[in-house]
Chains A and B, each alone.
Chain A
Amino acid sequence: MSSEPPIIQLINVTKKYQIADDEYYEALRGISLKIKKGEFVAIMGPSGSGKSTLMHIMGALDTATTGKQLFKDKDIALYTNDQLADIRNKEIGFVFQAFNLLPRTTVLKNVERPMLYGGIPATERTKKAMQMLEQMQIESKANNLSNTISGGQIQRVAIARALVMDPSLILADEPTGNLDTKTAHEIMSLFQTLNEKGHTVVLITHEEDIAKYAKRHIRLVDGKIVSDKK
Chain B
Amino acid sequence: MEYKELFISAIQTLRTNVVRTALTMLGVIIGISSVILIASLGQSSVKFITDQLSQFGTNYFQVSPGNNMRAAFGGGSGKPLTVDDSDAIKSAGISNIETVAPMGFASRAISANETTKTTTIYGLTPEGQVMLKPEMVFGEGMTHDDKNNKVIVLGIDVAEDLFGEDTDPVGLSVKVDDQKYRVIGVSKSSGGFIGGFFNSAATVPLEVLSDLIRGDDDLFEIDISVANTDLLDETMDEVELFLRDERNIKDGEDNDFNLVSFKESLGIIETVTGLLTTLIIGVSAISLVVGGVGIMNIMLVSVAERTREIGLLKSIGAKEKDILVQFLIESVVITVSGGTIGIIIGVVLAMIVSLIAGLPVIVSIPWIFIALIVSSGIGILFGLYPAKRASRLSPIDALRNE
**B319 pairs with A82, CB closer than 8 A:** yes
Distance A82 CA – B324 CA, assembled complex (angstroms): 13
Q: Is there contact, CB below 8 Å, between A117 and B318?
A: yes
For residue B330, give the distance in angstroms from its CB to the closest CB of chain A.
Answer: 12
Asked if B320 and A82 sit within 8 Å, CB to CB, the answer is yes
Residue in B closest to A93 when the chains form the complex, CB atoms: B316
Asked whether B396 lies within 8 Å of A114 as measured between CB atoms, the reply is no
* B126 nearest CB across to chain A (Å): 80
Closest Cβ–Cβ distance, residue B298 to chain A (whole Å): 17
Supposing A99-B312, A122-B2 touch, asked if A85 and B318 sit within 8 A by C-beta, the answer is: yes
Q: Which of B16, B319, B395 contacts A61 (CB under 8 A)?
A: B395
B312 touches A100 (CB 8 A): yes
Chain B residues in 8 Å Cβ range of A99: 308-309, 312
Do residues B319 and A102 form an inter-chain contact, with CB atoms below 8 A? no
Q: Which residues of A contact B399 (CB under 8 A)?
A: 61, 96
Select which of A59, A90, A109, A165 is within 8 A of B315 by beta carbon: A59
Does A81 lie within 8 Å of B320, measured CB to CB? yes
Contact across chains for B317 and A118 when beta carbons are under 8 A apart = yes
Consensus secondary structure, chain B interface = helix
Whether, in the assembled complex, B145 has its beta carbon less than 8 Å from a beta carbon of chain A, the answer is no
> Is B13's CB under 8 angstroms from A104's CB?
yes
A-B contacts, CB under 8 A, total: 71
* Nearest residue, chain B, Cβ from A121: B2
B127 within 8 A of A: no
The complex places the Cα of A164 from the Cα of B238 at a distance, in Å, of 87
Query: Is the CB of B12 closer than 8 A to any CB of chain A?
Result: yes
Report yes or no: B396 in contact with A89, Cβ–Cβ below 8 A.
no
Is A161's beta carbon under 8 Å from chain B? yes
Report the interface size class on chain A: 20 to 34
**Which B-chain residue is minimally distant from A120 (CB atoms)?**
B2
Most A C-beta atoms less than 10 A away, residue of B1, B13, B15, B319: B319
* Chain A residues positioned under 8 Å from B5 (CB to CB): 109, 116, 122
Task: Output the least CB separation between A182 and chain B (Å).
Answer: 26
A102-B317 contact given A61-B396, A61-B399, CB 8 Å threshold:
no
**A62, A86, A109, A117 — most chain B CB neighbours (10 Å):** A117
Q: Cα distance A88–B317 when bound, in Å?
A: 5
Among residues of B, the one whose C-beta sits closest to the C-beta of A86 is: B317
In the assembled complex, the Cα of A109 lies from the Cα of B6 at a distance in Å of 11
Cβ of A178 under 8 Å from chain B: no
Question: When the two chains form their complex, are residues A105 and B396 in contact, meaning their CB atoms are under 8 A apart?
Answer: no
Whether a CB of chain A sits under 8 angstroms from the CB of B188 is: no
Q: In the complex, which of the residues B2, B15, B396 contacts A116, with contact meaning CB atoms closer than 8 Å?
A: B2
Interface code B310-326, partner A: CB below 8 Å = 1, 0 otherwise? 00111111111110000
Q: Mark B7-36, 1 if CB is under 8 A from A, else 0.
A: 001001101100000000000000000000
0/1 per residue, B353-396, Cβ < 8 Å to A? 00000000000000000000000000000000000000000111
Q: Cβ of A81 and Cβ of B319 under 8 Å apart? A: yes
Q: How far is the CA of A152 from the CA of B395 in the complex (A)?
A: 25
B316 touches A89 (CB 8 A): yes
| Least CB separation from A87: chain B residue | B317
Shortest CB–CB separation between residue B64 and chain A, in angstroms? 71
Q: How far is the CB of B304 from chain A (nearest CB, A)?
A: 15
20 pairs, CB–CB < 8 Å, chain A vs chain B:
A56-B396, A61-B395, A61-B396, A81-B320, A82-B320, A82-B321, A86-B319, A90-B317, A94-B315, A96-B315, A100-B312, A104-B12, A113-B313, A114-B316, A114-B317, A116-B2, A117-B1, A117-B319, A118-B317, A119-B1
Q: Which residues of B contact A (CB under 8 A)?
A: 1-2, 5, 9, 12-13, 15-16, 308-309, 312-322, 394-396, 399
* Minimum-distance CB pairs A-B, first 6: A89-B317, A117-B317, A114-B316, A85-B319, A61-B395, A94-B315
